């Protein structure tokens, strides 16, 4: 398939989807991280306070995932088809995890007898969602087998050791983001508890990043060869920035700057996302389908554009409004 130059509308929608992914990863990432940390303590007071830090935000955060899915389906249907073919099982696990997690969030307050079940559901659901997202990223870094716009690989091609490593890495990365959020939104014992975990979470994330780079460079060099980090040396500024952001997050613990761990971890995720952008561009399905080849006809993109310029600002304003209304520390819960 020859590479077509993307139109302005195709580039617009590619940017919208990329931005929606990045916003989703940061916003839903911290509440998934809180869910992961939730299962590491048996203290009911801490668990209830953790829930309170994300109660006004968690369901709205997932709106951005809906935008990603609907946007791909409407504007880049070839990508949507190839991606679902490659990641059908991870997507099902993602949906089951999100559903069970949402049900557990509500039901744990209404059932004393089965609270243990809903607590485990919230914890395990958060881990499953984080893991399959990270595994999908790792599988994409290795490349997806596509022929004539259709996925031609196996159902478990995504479950490669490198993808398992990136899946585990995202679990700990989200946990770090969640710890930063807890520090930002809480006081007292819970804040100190979260502070105590940020340092070792930074160390684990560093270790997994080093292992992933070693795997890519020495064992699975095809990912780097097909990607563009090798010939876009300027792109290495983003991994360097990500490392600096992690170090700053660790420094924020020592300085007891409550906003710094979360802000720096969010910047780390932005840097990681931009690194993947440098590596993948111009591919939307690495390393087989480009933006130009995947885009729907311009007449469709133009029709969707008129809807998008109305709906997307409304979603953004709503999101900003919620975070503004519920800004500051959580004291006594939201009620």
Cα 17 to chain centroid, rounded: 13
CA distance 203 to 226: 30
Residues 6+ positions from 237 with CB-CB distance below 8 Å: none
CATH 1.20.1630 fits 8-326, yes or no: yes
Helix (H, G, I), strand (E, B), or coil: what is residue 24?
Answer: helix
CA distance 201 to 214: 20
- Average pLDDT of span 173-183: 95
The bridge status of strand 289-290 relative to strand 150-151 is unpaired
pLDDT at 287: 84
pLDDT at 332: 61
Inform me whether the pLDDT recorded for 214 exceeds 80. Answer: no
Between the alpha carbon of residue 220 and those of residues 56, 141, 147, 169, 281, the distances in Å are: 42, 10, 22, 17, 20
User: Percentage of the chain surpassing pLDDT 90?
Assistant: 52
Would you kindly state where each structural domain of the chain is located, as residue ranges?
8-326
The residues that bridge with 285 in the sheet, in sequence order, are 289
The residues that bridge with 150 in the sheet, in sequence order, are 147
User: Percentage of the chain surpassing pLDDT 70?
Assistant: 93
Torsion, Cα of 301, 307, 311, 313 (10° steps): 70
CA distance 229 to 131: 25
CA distance 175 to 195: 12
What tokens does 205 get?
């994330």
- Average pLDDT of span 59-81: 91
pLDDT at 225: 45
Residue 35's closest CA among 191, 177, 202? 177
pLDDT at 232: 77
- Average pLDDT of span 47-61: 88
Q: Name the packing angle between helices 188-218 and 44-54 (round to 10°).
A: 70
pLDDT at 220: 52
């Amino acid at each position: 398939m020859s590479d077509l130059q993307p139109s302005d509308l195709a580039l617009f929608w590619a940017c919208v989807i990329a931005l929606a992914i990045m916003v989703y990863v940061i916003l839903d990432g911290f509440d998934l991280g809180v869910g992961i940390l939730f299962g590491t303590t048996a203290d009911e007071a801490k668990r209830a306070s953790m829930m309170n830090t994300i109660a006004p935000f968690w369901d709205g955060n997932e709106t951005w995932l809906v935008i990603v899915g609907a946007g791909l389906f409407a504007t880049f249907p070839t990508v949507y088809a190839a991606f679902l073919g490659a990641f059908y099982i991870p997507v099902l696990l993602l949906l089951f995890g999100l559903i069970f997690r949402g049900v557990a969030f509500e039901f744990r307050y209404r059932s004393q007898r089965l609270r243990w079940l809903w607590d485990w559901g919230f914890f395990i659901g958060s881990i499953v969602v984080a893991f399959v997202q990270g595994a999908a990223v790792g599988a994409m870094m290795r490349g997806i087998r596509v022929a004539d716009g259709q996925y031609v690989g196996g159902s478990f091609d995504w479950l490669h050791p490198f993808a398992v490593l990136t899946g585990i890495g995202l679990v700990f990365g989200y946990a770090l983001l969640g710890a930063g959020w807890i520090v930002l939104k809480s006081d007292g014992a819970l804040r100190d508890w979260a502070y105590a975990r940020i340092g070792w979470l930074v160390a684990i994330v560093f270790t997994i990043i080093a292992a992933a780079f070693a795997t890519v460079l020495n064992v699975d060099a095809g990912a780097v060869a097909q990607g563009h980090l090798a010939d876009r040396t300027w792109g290495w500024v983003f991994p360097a920035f990500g490392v600096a952001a992690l170090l700053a997050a660790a420094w924020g613990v020592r300085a007891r700057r409550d906003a710094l761990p979360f802000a720096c971890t969010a910047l780390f995720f932005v840097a990681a996302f931009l690194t993947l952008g440098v590596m993948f561009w111009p591919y939307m399905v690495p390393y087989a389908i480009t933006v130009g080849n995947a885009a729907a006809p311009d007449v469709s993109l133009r029709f969707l554009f008129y809807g998008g310029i109305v709906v997307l600002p409304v979603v953004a304003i709503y999101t900003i409004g919620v975070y503004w209304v519920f800004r500051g520390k959580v004291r006594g819960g939201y009620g």
